[in-house]
């Protein structure tokens, strides 16, 4: 027996080593899911190896980065003047863009708040240096220099400004492994941005991500952007993934696989961001904007658009611009209103000034100072009277004809409106809130009044023939838009002598 | 190209400092990870495998070479998302065979080393494919052309690397 062992010692050791490893493989493969974390033993071994490999790699990375920094800084100094000029021009251009984009973004956020729609915002990220890779072709794993001590946890999304990279797979104290989206064992929920086709992004054996098992669709074209759908509960929705490269039939031949060119350069990664916290908490100014938007009721929004809200006799203190009030209170969340358009309902060619003539920040300054608001704003600073509640104004505006003819101010509106209308440049949208006629455009040449004489002179409302109109059944019209109106127009209508009968509607 | 076995006495007269024996595998793993990150085509080269082969043919002790191959392979597995043991098994077998071969033929010449590394790389690739694709049912593409290119590149790199490692040998 002893001679057998000594004779076949080497072979026995080899067989033993192989059996131990095969047994270890079998134990590891028995995990409940392929993506499940390793067992304690395997994790311990990975931890030891990472502890041995990561510090020298970190040192190598730092040294290499220092040398690269010195070199690139020296090279950059040669062209620094030209670059400076280009950057200044770029800053000027970006400031112009920022001024308009800020308004658009805030408006969009307010509207989101009104709709009750909560986007998952990226709340907190941890920047990390990529200090290593798996070093093998078939394993697309990166090693980053941040770990559990830095707030990294398992299955956290890893991104770059260009697009997603992958997710954390193994997390140690000061380093982590990142499984790239190009690895064959990775997966992410994605959506094609244009066609809105959803799918699952998987890596492949040759390292190219692909959306698998997609129904054949002619609309899928090369170059279409692909973004995350958020359905995998790992990546927040809307992050860039890449672009469609081409579609190929899947091995079964019934469905298709869409090959994706990743947006992030996965083979040249140096810095990445690990998203450590996602939530619907929207920070700072945005939260305040949305909260304000949610508090604004629909009736207020309607009343804000009604001309009767602007009472010519309202006291100056009570009709003060919201912006001014907000400034006095120090409320940074006041809404910024864009300058009023000449014609809010139609496009005005040539109204937008050329970019070359604009000053960065000037538009924002005009908005903050109240310039560009509707031209009838000075009417607010007239004699003090009790302000008309918006709802009451709206009710008066849609009052029944029997009430309308008692109201003298209403008469004056009809008498003076055509003159005001002539000052306008384009067609004006006219609403008939009694429901008798649909909203229509009136052109400046046309009389604004719907009195019988005017209607008979130029009929433009097919739903209400002139013959049906009667002096006693005038319809009050509400003009939408910043048209100038005389002060008498804004007077509170006289109370009805008889209780108004609510219109009977059969819903 | 001499395929004659060198004398056992010559082999026994050569040894490595402990620092080299510990640092060489670690450096191979670290460089493999670091260089492949900044130069992706470098992952064709398998530095840990080359170090395993070098120690195997230099020690000419199958037992030590098997254990060293297993340890280096498991350490390499730890840097990937494979289950631990895929590279370990491959390098154990390669280490054992290379050491067994080193007893019988002269592995000091460049030509022999070229052939040994070429064959060992192909064998290692085959074992890896067998384990990964057949045993673990993981997607893996096998291409003869790619494996041969990989074996040639590794053989060429090995000639240079082995010459460098020869400088660290200590004559007793």
- CB of A212 within 8 Å of any CB in chain B? no
DSSP strand E in A172-255: where?
Answer: 176-180, 187-192, 198-202, 210-214, 225-228, 240-249
Cα A159 from Cα A192, distance rounded (Å)? 19
For residue A18, list chain B residues with Cβ-Cβ distance below 8 A.
89, 92-93
Instruction: Give the global pTM.
Output: 0.50
Q: Determine contact, residues B171/B14, Cβ cutoff 8 Å.
A: yes
Q: What is the pLDDT of residues A374-431, one digit of tens each?
A: 444 444 444 444 444 444 444 444 443 444 444 444 444 444 444 444 444 455 555 5
Cα A140 from Cα A255, distance rounded (Å)? 26
How high is the pLDDT of residue A260?
94
Report residue A437's pLDDT band, with 50, 70 and 90 as the boundaries: low
Averaged pLDDT, groups of 10, chain B, 172 residues long: 50 73 89 85 90 91 92 91 89 93 84 92 92 84 88 94 87 62
Grouping H, G, I as helix, E, B as strand and the rest as coil, residue A371 is coil
How high is the pLDDT of residue A107?
76
B70 and A17 within 8 Å at the Cβ level: the answer is: yes
Q: Which of A21, A57, A205 sits opposite B33 (nearest CB)?
A: A57
Distances (CA, A) of B26 to A1, A52, A280, B38, B74: 39, 8, 45, 19, 12
Report residue A360's pLDDT band, with 50, 70 and 90 as the boundaries: low
How high is the pLDDT of residue A160?
87
Average pLDDT, chain A: 67
For residue B25, list chain A residues with Cβ-Cβ distance below 8 A.
none
- CB of A177 within 8 Å of any CB in chain B? yes
For residue B34, list chain A residues with Cβ-Cβ distance below 8 A.
57, 60-61, 131-132
Phi, psi of B121 (to 5 degrees): -65, -40
Cα A203 from Cα A262, distance rounded (Å)? 11
- CB of B140 within 8 Å of any CB in chain A? yes
Q: What is the pLDDT of residues A172-200, one digit of tens each?
A: 988 999 999 999 888 999 999 888 899 99
- CB of B97 within 8 Å of any CB in chain A? no
A135 and B79 within 8 Å at the Cβ level: the answer is: yes
Report residue A55's pLDDT band, with 50, 70 and 90 as the boundaries: confident
How high is the pLDDT of residue A451?
44
B82 and A50 within 8 Å at the Cβ level: the answer is: no
Q: Which residues of chain A from 102 to 141 reach within 8 Å of chain B, CB to CB? A: 130-139, 141
Mean pLDDT, rounded, for A310-317: 48
Give percent of chain A above pLDDT 70: 50
Q: Which of B26, B78, B81 sits opposite A179 (nearest CB)?
A: B81
- CB of A180 within 8 Å of any CB in chain B? no
Mean pLDDT, rounded, for A256-265: 91
Q: What is the pLDDT of residues A208-235, one digit of tens each?
A: 899 988 888 888 888 999 999 888 888 8
Report residue A307's pLDDT band, with 50, 70 and 90 as the boundaries: low
Concatenate the DSSP letters of all residues of A301-314 into one string: HHHHHSGGGS-TTS
Q: Which residues of chain A from 233 to 272 reach within 8 Å of chain B, CB to CB? A: 267, 269
**ipTM of the complex, rounded to two decimals:** 0.82
Examine the pLDDT at A63 and tell me if it is beyond 90: no
How high is the pLDDT of residue A416?
43
Higher pLDDT, A341 or A420: A341
Distances (CA, A) of A472 to A405, A468, A469: 6, 11, 8
Higher pLDDT, A501 or B45: B45
How high is the pLDDT of residue B59?
86
Report residue A123's pLDDT band, with 50, 70 and 90 as the boundaries: low
Cα A258 from Cα A214, distance rounded (Å)? 7
For residue B130, list chain A residues with Cβ-Cβ distance below 8 A.
none
Q: Determine contact, residues A188/A200, Cβ cutoff 8 Å.
A: yes
B34 and A57 within 8 Å at the Cβ level: the answer is: yes
A14 and B29 within 8 Å at the Cβ level: the answer is: no
């Amino acid at each position: 027996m002893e001679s057998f062992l000594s004779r076949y010692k080497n072979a026995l050791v080899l067989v033993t080593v192989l059996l131990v490893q095969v047994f270890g493989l079998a134990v590891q493969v028995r995990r409940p899911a392929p993506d499940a974390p390793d067992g304690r033993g395997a994790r311990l071994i990975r931890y030891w190896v990472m502890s041995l490999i990561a510090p020298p790699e970190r040192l190598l990375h730092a040294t290499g980065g220092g040398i690269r920094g010195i070199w690139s800084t020296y090279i950059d100094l040669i062209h620094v003047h030209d670059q400076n000029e280009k950057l200044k021009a770029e800053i000027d251009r970006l400031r112009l863009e920022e001024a308009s984009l800020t308004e658009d973004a805030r408006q969009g956020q307010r509207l989101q708040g009104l709709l009750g729609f909560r986007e998952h915002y990226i709340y907190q990220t941890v920047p990390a240096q990529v200090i290593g890779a798996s070093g093998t072709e078939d394993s697309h794993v990166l090693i980053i220099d941040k770990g559990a001590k830095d707030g990294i946890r398992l299955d956290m999304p890893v991104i770059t400004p260009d697009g997603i990279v992958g997710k954390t797979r193994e997390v140690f104290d000061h380093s982590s492994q990142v499984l790239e989206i190009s690895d064959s064992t990775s997966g992410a929920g994605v959506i094609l941005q244009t066609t809105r086709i959803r799918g699952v992004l998987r890596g492949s054996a040759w390292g190219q991500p692909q959306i698998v098992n997609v129904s054949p669709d002619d609309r899928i074209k090369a170059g279409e952007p692909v973004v995350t759908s958020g359905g995998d509960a790992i990546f927040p929705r809307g992050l860039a993934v890449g672009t469609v490269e081409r579609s190929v039939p899947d091995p079964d031949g019934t469905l298709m696989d869409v090959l994706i060119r990743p947006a992030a350069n996965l083979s040249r990664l140096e810095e990445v961001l690990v998203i450590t916290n996602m939530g619907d908490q929207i920070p700072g100014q945005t939260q305040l904007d949305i909260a304000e938007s949610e508090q604004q009721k629909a009736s207020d929004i309607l009343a804000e658009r009604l001309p009767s809200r602007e009472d010519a006799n309202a006291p100056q203190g009570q009709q003060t611009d919201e912006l001014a009030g907000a400034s006095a209170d120090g409320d940074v969340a006041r809404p910024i209103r864009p300058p009023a358009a000449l014609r809010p309902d139609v496009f005005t060619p040539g109204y937008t000034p050329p970019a070359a003539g604009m000053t960065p920040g000037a538009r924002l300054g005009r908005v903050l100072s109240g310039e560009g608001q509707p031209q009838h704003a000075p009417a607010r600073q007239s004699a003090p009277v009790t302000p008309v509640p918006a709802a009451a104004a709206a009710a008066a505006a849609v009052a029944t004809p029997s009430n309308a003819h008692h109201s003298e101010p209403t008469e004056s509106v009809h008498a003076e409106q055509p003159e005001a209308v002539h000052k306008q440049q384009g067609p004006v949208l006219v609403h008939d809130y009694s429901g008798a006629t649909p909203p229509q455009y009136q052109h400046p040449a046309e009389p604004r009044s719907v009195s019988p004489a005017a209607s008979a002179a130029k009929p433009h409302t097919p739903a209400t023939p002139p013959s049906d109109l009667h002096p006693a059944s005038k319809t009050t019209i509400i003009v939408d838009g910043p048209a100038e109106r005389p002060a008498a127009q804004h007077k509170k209508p006289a109370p009805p002598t008889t209780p108004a009968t609510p219109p009977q509607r059969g819903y | 190209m001499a395929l004659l076995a060198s004398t056992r006495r010559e082999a026994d007269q050569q040894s490595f400092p402990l620092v080299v024996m510990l640092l060489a595998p670690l450096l191979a793993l670290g460089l493999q990870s670091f260089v492949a990150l900044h130069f992706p085509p470098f992952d064709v080269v398998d530095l840990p495998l080359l170090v395993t082969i070098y120690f195997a043919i230099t020690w000419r002790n199958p037992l030590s070479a098997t254990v060293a191959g297993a340890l280096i392979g498991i350490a390499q597995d730890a840097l990937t998302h494979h289950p631990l043991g895929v590279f370990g098994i491959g390098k154990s077998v390669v280490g054992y065979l290379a050491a067994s071969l080193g007893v019988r033929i002269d592995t000091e010449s460049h030509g022999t080393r070229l052939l040994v590394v070429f064959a060992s790389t192909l064998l290692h690739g085959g074992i890896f494919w067998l384990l990964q694709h057949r045993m673990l049912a993981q997607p893996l593409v096998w291409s003869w052309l790619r494996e041969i290119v990989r074996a040639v590149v590794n053989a060429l790199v090995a000639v240079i690397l082995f010459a460098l490692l020869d400088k660290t040998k200590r004559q007793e």
